[in-house]
Amino acid sequence: MSNLVYVLNGPNLNLLGQREPHLYGHETLADVEAQCRAVCDNQGLEQRFHQSNREYEIIDWIHEARDNAFGIIINAAAFTHTSVAILDALTAFEGPVLEVHVSNIHKREAFRHFSYVSQRAEGMIAGFGIQGYALAMQRMGKLYRDR
């Protein structure tokens, strides 16, 4: 079985470190990728890291993961609260799915409290800044070893 984990990031996460640093911090998406890679190396995993502002690309990557990945870590960003299409794609994926949010979505505007992704995800990490990605990757390593 593949040890590959897709790390998928939705709209505006390319602006991480620049956009609303009081909410999202000063670390960049490149920092997230490097942090995830370090955890992967420690957990015996590989990663494929993507970001897009386009919903269809995220869906295409989820479809691609069906054929070659053990798991998916996803921060769908604003698509979390709006995309039935991403939920449908995740439902077609048979491996574990972990949801990550840099901020605590439950302390924000009411519309952010609902997550379509959570309808499929085995777990969610929210409000730990970019450290949430590393925590999710550690969990993915445990799930991989226990399979």
Active site residues: 24, 101
3-state secondary structure of 136: helix
| CA distances from residue 82 to 34, 64, 69, 144 in whole angstroms, order as listed | 29, 22, 25, 30
CA–CA distance, 70 with 104 (Å, rounded to integer): 27
Token digits for 66? 């069906």
Type of residue numbered 131: Q
> Alpha helices of 44-130 — where are they, by DSSP H?
55-68, 84-92
